[in-house]
Amino acid sequence: MAFETGPYIQVAAFCEKVIEDKTNVVSLIRLIDTLTHTEARPDAPEEMPPVTYPLKLVIMLKPGAARGRHELRIVPELPSGELLQPFTSSIHLAGEERGANVFADIPFTFKIEGLYWFHVYLNDILFTKIPFRMIYNRLITGAPLK
């Protein structure tokens, strides 16, 4: 097992807002793993149009025996299996409970509905995956009455 002695995942999720107070206590507001987009109009498209949504990625690690600088890479996977360009960040693990918190704003464009996976790599080794489902609701509305 690649990470048997650390680092360990404390949180790997998407949320709408992160609050970090003066004492470094973190609050994650509205954890999300599903987004529903509705098109309600007479000519609502059959297929979902591209939807850009401001994802806030939160990854919190505790080092265990891991120390030093490491590369964290997030690779989005479309429902079709296609992999997109990665987001990368370097992190530093100081030791004991002093891990690394990554809070990244990712304006992600969902091009199709379905289950997306965000692969999390640490030093080129798959660490975990974060699922996110995009749902499209098509609502055909009638023309206004005259």
Confidence of residue 143 (pLDDT cuts 50, 70, 90): low
State the pLDDT at residue 50.
97
Query: What 3-state DSSP class applies to 131?
Result: strand
* Segment 121-139 mean pLDDT: 96
Instruction: Note the pLDDT tens digit of each residue in 52-100.
Output: 999 999 999 999 989 999 999 999 999 999 999 999 999 999 877 788 9
Is residue 144 pLDDT above 70, yes or no? Answer: no
- pTM for the full model? 0.90
Ordered domains of the chain (ranges, CATH)? 8-138 (2.60.40.1930)
Instruction: Note the pLDDT tens digit of each residue in 7-36.
Output: 999 999 999 999 999 998 999 999 999 999
State the pLDDT at residue 142.
75
Is there a contact between 18 and 5 (Cβ–Cβ < 8 Å)? no
